[in-house]
């Protein structure tokens, strides 16, 4: 099985990525040095795709990644997001074009990059025309500040509409063996060579009786192996605040079956 996928056709990554969200925001459980060690170990173990967002711990998550990994290895792709605010309780979409442009600039500064490899609209804001939201990202792309545009939590209809405005390289929807509501979106991505980053890839498998089992594999490894087998465009981004779990999760590639399902 090919474990490489080129996002947007020109950004090759190892398909088993890492979601950084859980590295910040809970200092009681995970200290700064430990979080740095987990980010570095992920890269040592072969991760070349890390997912973060401007809203994760109000930018501290992006800063943590820069503190851990800058200067970045050339093959490392950092996917970040903008367009959703979180002040503690609720997540609120905020897709006004000037806000998206400001947030991209702040992500560039925090990540210490001169361009963002993959910039994902965290949520479509229902109060702002989609053309204005995608238009802001297209402008950033034309200015060289974004290499590729991604979307998160979209339907096939929204993805199709967005693709009429700008090239969309990646989609990030909630997806795992126990929650396949995004199957039509994933199938659309597969048909069009768009990367599909399933979020919440393993939590259901480790918290409840797993939907998929693989002999010799832990529930997390079986969940990741199932995702990697599901389609060559699937790039899981499992998250953890534990070095032990990180190492276990990266071991999922040892349990891949040859055929897709
Ligand atoms: N686009 C969006 O709207 C959106 C929303 C949410 C998340 N995300 C992205 O998706 C990434 C992954 O999402 P997620 O962290 O919510 O879900 P996840 O990766 O499915 O699950 C993480 C949870 O599973 C536990 N876990 C991880 N590895 C384990 C293992 N080997 N054994 C047992 N438990 C294990 C973690 O606990 P420990 O910390 O104890 O390991 C944590 O509680 C995030 O980091 C973020 O980048 C995107």
How far is ligand 1, taken at its centre, from the CA of residue 168, in Å?
24
| Residues annotated as part of the active site | 56
Q: Is the pTM of this model over 0.95?
A: yes
Q: ∠15-16-17 over CA atoms, to 5°?
A: 100
pLDDT of residue 26: 84
Taking only the tens place, the pLDDT of each residue in 50-74 is 999 999 999 999 999 999 999 999 9
Taking only the tens place, the pLDDT of each residue in 189-209 is 999 999 999 999 999 999 999
| Residue 198, phi-psi category: left (phi > 0), alpha (psi -120 to 50), beta (remainder) | beta
Q: What is the mean pLDDT of residues 84-99?
A: 93
SS3 track for 22-38 = HHCCCCCCCCHHHHHHH
- Whether ligand 1 lies within 6 angstroms of the CB of 172 is answered as yes
Q: ∠181-127-171 over CA atoms, to 5°?
A: 35
How far is ligand 1, taken at its centre, from the CA of residue 224, in Å?
12
The closest residue, in CA terms, to atom 34 on ligand 1 is: 206
The answer to whether the peptide bond before residue 71 is cis (omega within 30 degrees of 0) is yes
- Whether ligand 1 lies within 6 angstroms of the CB of 21 is answered as yes
Phi and psi at 152, nearest 5°, equal -135, 140
Report the interhelical angle of 97-111 vs 130-142 (nearest 10°): 40
- Identify the structural domains of the chain with CATH numbers, from first to last: 4-200+231-245 (3.20.20.100)
The closest residue, in CA terms, to atom 7 on ligand 1 is: 199
Return the exposure string of 7-28: e unless at least 16 CB atoms fall within 10 Å of the residue's CB, then b: bbeebebbbbbbbbbbbbbeee
- Whether ligand 1 lies within 6 angstroms of the CB of 123 is answered as no
pLDDT of residue 87: 82
Residue 82: pLDDT band by 50, 70, 90 thresholds?
Answer: very high
- Whether ligand 1 lies within 6 angstroms of the CB of 199 is answered as yes
How far is ligand 1, taken at its centre, from the CA of residue 135, in Å?
31
pLDDT of residue 258: 63
- Within the chain, strands assigned E span 4-7, 11-14, 18-19, 49-51, 77-82, 84-86, 91-93, 116-121, 146-152, 170-172, 195-196
Task: Provide the percentage of residues in the chain whose pLDDT is more than 70.
Answer: 98
């Amino acid at each position: 099985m090919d474990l490489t996928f080129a996002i947007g056709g020109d950004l090759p990554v190892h398909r088993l990525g890492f979601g950084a969200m859980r590295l910040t925001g809970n200092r009681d459980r995970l200290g700064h040095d430990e979080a740095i060690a987990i980010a570095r170990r992920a890269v040592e173990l072969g991760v070349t795709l890390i997912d973060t967002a401007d809203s994760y711990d109000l930018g501290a998550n992006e800063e943590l990644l820069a503190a851990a990994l800058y200067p970045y290895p050339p093959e490392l792709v950092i996917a970040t997001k903008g367009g959703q605010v979180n002040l503690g309780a609720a997540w609120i979409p905020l897709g006004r074009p000037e806000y998206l442009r400001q947030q991209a600039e702040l992500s560039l500064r925090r990540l210490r990059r001169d361009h963002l490899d993959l910039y994902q609209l965290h949520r479509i804001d229902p109060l702002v025309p989609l053309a204005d939201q995608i238009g802001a990202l297209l402008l950033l792309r034309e200015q060289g500040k974004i290499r590729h545009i991604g979307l998160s939590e979209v339907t096939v209809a929204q993805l199709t509409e967005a693709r009429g405005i700008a090239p969309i390289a990646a989609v990030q929807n909630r997806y795992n063996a126990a929650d396949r509501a995004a199957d039509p979106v994933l199938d659309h991505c597969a048909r069009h060579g768009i990367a599909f980053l399933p979020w919440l890839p393993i939590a259901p498998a480790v918290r409840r009786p797993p939907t998929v089992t693989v002999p010799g594999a832990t529930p997390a490894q079986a969940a990741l192996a199932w995702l990697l087998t599901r389609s060559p465009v699937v790039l899981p981004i499992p998250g953890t605040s534990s070095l032990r779990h990180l190492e276990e999760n990266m071991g999922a590639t040892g349990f891949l079956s040859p055929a897709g399902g």
